[in-house]
Amino acid sequence: MNPRAGQTKKRTRIQALNEAKILEAALDIFATFGFRGTTIDQIAQKAEMSKPNLLYYFRRKEDIYISVLERTLETWLTPLTELDPEGDPIEEIGKYTSLKLQMSENDPTASRLFANEILHGAPMIEHVLKGSLKSLVDEKAVVIKRWIDDGKLTNVDPYHLIFMIWASTQHYADFKIQMRAILGEEVDKPDYFEKAGKTISTIFFEGLKPRA
Amino acid sequence: MNPRAGQTKKRTRIQALNEAKILEAALDIFATFGFRGTTIDQIAQKAEMSKPNLLYYFRRKEDIYISVLERTLETWLTPLTELDPEGDPIEEIGKYTSLKLQMSENDPTASRLFANEILHGAPMIEHVLKGSLKSLVDEKAVVIKRWIDDGKLTNVDPYHLIFMIWASTQHYADFKIQMRAILGEEVDKPDYFEKAGKTISTIFFEGLKPRA
DNA sequence: CTAATTCCTGACCATTTGGTCAAATTAACG
DNA sequence: CGTTAATTTGACCAAATGGTCAGGAATTAG
């Protein structure tokens, strides 16, 4: 019987193995070439199996893509979940920002995958964006608003603040090629992201106007 | 004779007209679907001409793409050029940031076109990034460094500051779909970008830590 | 007006690519 | 071991797509 990822019937050893291999390979390829730019053959080759065999596990190219997206999305949203309303605002936002930057460093493919999907109109994950992502952001915006009302943060729009954190950190994954063109090999050295983190947090917390 | 864009021979009236029509249509399509995701037919249809006729003006799909990229690149880099070393640092950076944000509002396709190209490894414009873009950024980094040494700005890495400005502003073009999923129609109202600008400049200049 | 040149099109081609299928091979299980 | 079910593959197909070309239509030059 032709298996389908996510079906009810229990999966065999080989199914689990090959599905994992496929998804891992697909993440890389999709992140680099986008949905249309990716061919099934490319994924199959990277996953070390024949195209028909790959299609035995995922009937359509779109099925692989959606699986990869959903799988990555969860990891990607986790950090925001952990923004603690009871914690110190500056510390919480600092942790969140630094965690997002770390993710851009360690798993840039995930970031690029989303960037691609969203650039192209998010045809496959619009419902997730309007669903769980919106809920999560709405919830955290309230938390930030309270911090502001308590005088613990400068008065800024919580949503735009969140967007700006996303922008500043994900930029280091999505636009790394541009940065490398400007700064050269430096961007691949270990202290590059450290310097990025320092700059980002200085600006976010201190601002550019020198404090007396 | 088969015309080639950018040739030495003077171009006829019809050539100028049709090349413009093609490039305008192509910008839109390429920005939405990326290079591989775009078909010549799509561009031809949007430019209201037949595919063979389009190929009469641009021999290959790649030629159109490169033309569009080069054409847009110039506009895109201009604002940074105008960062005045003699001006007031806060004011200059404020003007630059606000100009970039305006461009994201008025011409998001241009931003998306680059984002796409860079995400996919910038195969067509790597030399521009390493050439004129790098020179320009290097030059302006020196200016910013001087401002910092003069105590007029908080001490941050000039390059990362520039990256952060790009990130924060271009995000409003590249990720608008995500923003719309979260905030709804609001993102299309005129005061949305105004609020974005206020948030961005408050964070850049004041920082999140409340000033006494 | 006439000839040369430019512009445009329908028909066509080769390649790529997503996807199918029957049959062969391998693993699982009693 | 032998039977059943799962896995794998080569061969194949149809559609999409980048690109060509011979010749007809329109434009321009003289």
pLDDT in tens, A115-138: 999 999 999 999 999 999 999 999
Residue A3 confidence (pLDDT): 67
CB A22 within 8 A of CB A57: yes
Residue A145 confidence (pLDDT): 98
- DSSP letter at A132 equals I
Nearest to A202 by CA among B96, B204, B169: B204
Nearest to A166 by CA among B98, B178, B43, B143: B178
Question: Is A181 within 8 Å of chain B by CB?
Answer: yes
Q: How far is A133 from A159, CA to CA, in rounded Å?
A: 12
Asked if B132 CB < 7 A from strand D, the reply is: no
- Angle among Cα B208, B111, A174 to the nearest 5 degrees reads 65
- Exposure pattern of B173-205 as b/e (b: 16+ CB <10 Å)? bbbbbbbbbbbeeebeeeebbeebbebbbbbbb
Residue A211 confidence (pLDDT): 83
Measured in Å, how far apart are chain B's first and last C-alpha atoms?
72
Q: How far is A47 from A25, CA to CA, in rounded Å?
A: 5
Side-chain-side CA neighbours of residue B195 (13 Å): 15
Residue B4 confidence (pLDDT): 61
The residue length of chain A stands at 212
Q: How far is A82 from A86, CA to CA, in rounded Å?
A: 11
CB B141 within 8 A of CB B158: yes
Question: Is B56 within 8 Å of chain A by CB?
Answer: no
Q: How far is B26 from B138, CA to CA, in rounded Å?
A: 32
Would the CB atoms of A208 and B208 count as touching at under 8 Å? Answer: no
The residue length of chain B stands at 212
Would the CB atoms of A209 and B209 count as touching at under 8 Å? Answer: no
Would the CB atoms of B163 and A171 count as touching at under 8 Å? Answer: yes
Q: How far is B146 from B155, CA to CA, in rounded Å?
A: 11
Is the Cα dihedral A129, A165, B101, B132 positive or negative? Answer: negative
Chain B residues 53-72 within 7 Å (CB) of strand D: 55, 59-62
Asked if B128 CB < 7 A from strand D, the reply is: no
Asked if A7 CB < 7 A from strand C, the reply is: no
Mean of the per-residue pLDDT values of chain B:
94
Neighbours of B116 (CB within 10 A): 23
Residue A134 confidence (pLDDT): 97
Question: Is A113 within 8 Å of chain B by CB?
Answer: no
> Which CA distances in Å does A133 have to A73, A110, B135, B174?
10, 16, 40, 18
CA distance A153 to chain B (A): 5
The encoded tokens of residue A22 equal 């496929």
Asked if B7 CB < 7 A from strand C, the reply is: no
Mean of the per-residue pLDDT values of chain A:
94
The pLDDT tens digits for B162-204 are 999 999 999 999 999 999 999 999 999 989 999 999 999 999 9
Per-residue pLDDT for chain A (212 aa), expressed as one digit of tens each?
566 555 555 678 889 999 999 999 999 999 999 999 999 999 999 999 999 999 999 999 999 999 999 999 989 999 999 999 999 999 999 999 999 999 999 999 999 999 999 999 999 999 999 999 999 999 999 999 999 999 999 999 999 999 999 999 999 999 999 999 999 999 999 899 999 999 999 999 999 999 87
Residue B6 confidence (pLDDT): 53
CA distance A77 to chain B (A): 14
Residue A12 confidence (pLDDT): 81
Nearest to B57 by CA among B20, B27, B28: B20
Chain A residues 140-169 within 7 Å (CB) of strand C: none
Q: Which of residues 190-209 of A touch B (CB under 8 A)?
A: 195-196, 198-200, 202-209
Q: Which residues of A fall within a CB distance of 8 Å from B203?
A: 154, 156, 161, 164, 203-204, 207
Residue B8 confidence (pLDDT): 52
Is the Cα dihedral A81, A138, A97, A65 positive or negative? Answer: positive
Side-chain-side CA neighbours of residue B154 (13 Å): 23
Q: Point out the residue nearest to C27 (C-alpha to C1').
A: A14
The encoded tokens of residue B183 equal 């905030």
Asked if A3 CB < 7 A from strand D, the reply is: yes
Residue A13 confidence (pLDDT): 85
Q: How far is A102 from A113, CA to CA, in rounded Å?
A: 17
Residue linked to tokens 């969203």: A118
pLDDT-derived band of residue B11, with 50, 70 and 90 as boundaries?
confident
Q: How far is A97 from B207, CA to CA, in rounded Å?
A: 14
The pLDDT tens digits for B114-129 are 999 999 999 999 999 9
Percent over 70 (pLDDT), chain B: 95
Would the CB atoms of B167 and A170 count as touching at under 8 Å? Answer: yes
Percent over 90 (pLDDT), chain B: 90
Nucleotides of D under 7 A from a protein CB: 5-11, 16-22, 27-28
Q: Where are the alpha helices (DSSP H) in chain A?
A: 13-37, 40-46, 51-57, 61-81, 89-106, 108-119, 126-128, 134-149, 158-174, 176-183, 190-205
Residue B10 confidence (pLDDT): 64
Q: How far is A96 from A102, CA to CA, in rounded Å?
A: 10
Question: Is A125 within 8 Å of chain B by CB?
Answer: no
> Which CA distances in Å does B12 have to A76, A112, A207, B43, B64?
53, 43, 54, 22, 19
Nearest to A34 among B120, B126, B183 (CB): B120
Asked if A50 CB < 7 A from strand D, the reply is: yes
- DSSP letter at B184 equals G
